[in-house]
Homo-oligomer: A and B are copies of this chain.
């Protein structure tokens, strides 16, 4: 990358996709206004996100001076393809809506174009004149002119037909039959095929869509430390050992297996068990302290195996329907080769030492952050990009990026853009737990999915507010949540004190609120809940610093519930999207109720969860029937996919009773009854 290329990239406020569309108001006779187009993120600075096969519903305010009718359409194109058009429909009050489908990976752009619909205006006025009994002979001649202009714009076949209509109209202009000719619906259709787009106005921004593969929207993650995978107690696990875990993980229905960093681990200032200092000689260190004499971000920790072993693991995982996600943590241990080769990529203190990571007064001397303000930032960016490309070459297509919010935003936008151009099937998960502005910015810059505050949202109010923000506002267009009830860093208070039932509740919420979720296992399914200490949300004896060995067949394991939930997710498309999440009322704050529905409401799932892990809770849920396409007059059957129970419900309000530990939730599929309509139905 030459520096002027990079400068060029930054001087554009919106990244141009392919050749720009031609353009804007150049004539004072452009009377139509096109504005308030949605979706549009920060004035078009950022793309919205979709996966292949989804639609983009576009709305705009389109209007003109005076009383003429307007018409408008979406213009859209896939990068490198022809411009296409999709007509819009009036919603009233100058608002218009249309949609288009994105069928290929990559980038699309879209905008809206509007124009005066002269023929429709003329026809509307003509009808009024005729109703008022006015002489319309001159008006019919005006119409004949409009038809002839349509003929001039038409292709050969329609040209002839339109000319004939114009001639008939002209010949009968002073005759009573003229009006009938003018208002013929065939004529209207024909003219509408060749709209007069003279002085059409295009919206002044070109908006863009990044289209990813389906897994960007719907994915089920299992986080696993490879070094804990050995069947031999106390042995360091290898990729070969991990292969043995694949049937177990696959049987629970996961489709992504995510590995913490697999690179050589630094020795200098290595942390011991429970993050202690100094480490004991047999301590293994944190996989996030990347780099040693044995290599850095493009190397594999020798105790895990070889690059060949890793490639074999990728292939075996694929055989089980599992994709491997790698952790990219852009930081170095003091022993990382970069430290010797490129000291200019780190910040040097006045005493000549390299600045280690800090959150004063805490010091992380085993970690050197990259210095993104180095004058050699271009070389640094290129090298970091090559890390992604290296693993892409090995076959990895999903990256979980560690703490992206402590690296520069500009870097992420650039590197994701560069990689996506070459490899549009690569997915990026942002692991940023920080302020909302920062998390949302990272999503706008290009991350496919993001960790969320779900981990700490426990009450009905907290969950409702947060998920309405994520799924019922513009955030939906660019931020794809990936819900984690736990991570190696986070054992939330809710799980610490709620025992086994609390793990069930959080699992059910994660699996049904979000199209994507993940667990850090096997810690999660085994309900491990011992914290480092009071008031801490770190794990005691955290796997980050030591090997763990677990009894997967424990009676306590949630593996059967996980398997059932993931099967329900696979079988019910509504749960694979966040588009139509709606919360419903309940008269008990411990009961949370929400639905997910297909766009056409033909298929609906209703979830009711007892958020209280300690007590049986009962109450009435108040379903907004119109939001799921139901009629209050009819009863309807709901089928609990968890318990296989079936209930006949009636109207909006229905009673539920949920028991922690055994039946903490209903996941109800609405079973529509194909009923014969009887007269008395209308008298109910």
Contacts and interface: CB of A to CB of B under 8 A. Distances in A.
Contact of A437 (B11, B29, B43, B61): B61
Contact of A141 (B126, B199, B351, B407): B351
Contact of A31 (B128, B353, B373): B373
Contact of A26 (B10, B129, B138, B438): B10
Nearest to A23: B11
A350 B24 contact: no
A414 B28 contact: yes
Interface in A1-37: 6-7, 10-11, 13, 24-31, 33, 35-36
A31 to B, nearest CB: 5
A427 to B, nearest CB: 22
Given A29-B372, A361-B131, A409 B65 contact: yes
A204 B13 contact: yes
Contacts of A65: 372, 405-409, 438
Decide if the interface of chain A is mainly helix, strand, loop or mixed: mixed
Contacts of A360: 124-126, 128-129, 132
Contact of A29 (B26, B128, B353, B408): B408
Which A-B residue pairs are the 4 nearest by beta carbons?
A132-B361, A43-B43, A141-B350, A128-B360
B350 A138 contact: yes
A142 interface: yes
Nearest to A121: B360
Most chain B CB atoms below 10 A, which of A43, A199, A372: A43
Nearest to A404: B65
A675 interface: no
Interface residues on A, range: 35 or more
A359 B67 contact: yes
Given A43-B44, A65-B407, 14 more contacts: A10-B24, A10-B28, A11-B25, A13-B24, A25-B410, A35-B441, A65-B372, A65-B408, A67-B359, A125-B360, A131-B361, A132-B360, A138-B350, A141-B351
Contact of A361 (B67, B134, B351): B134
B31 A42 contact: no
Most chain B CB atoms below 10 A, which of A7, A29, A61, A435: A29
A407 B94 CA distance: 18
Given A408-B65, A410-B31, A25 B42 contact: no
B10 A25 contact: yes
A226 B350 CA distance: 84
Contacts of A351: 138, 141
A479 B489 CA distance: 52
A528 interface: no
B42 A35 contact: yes
B31 A409 contact: yes
A93 interface: yes
Contacts of A359: 67
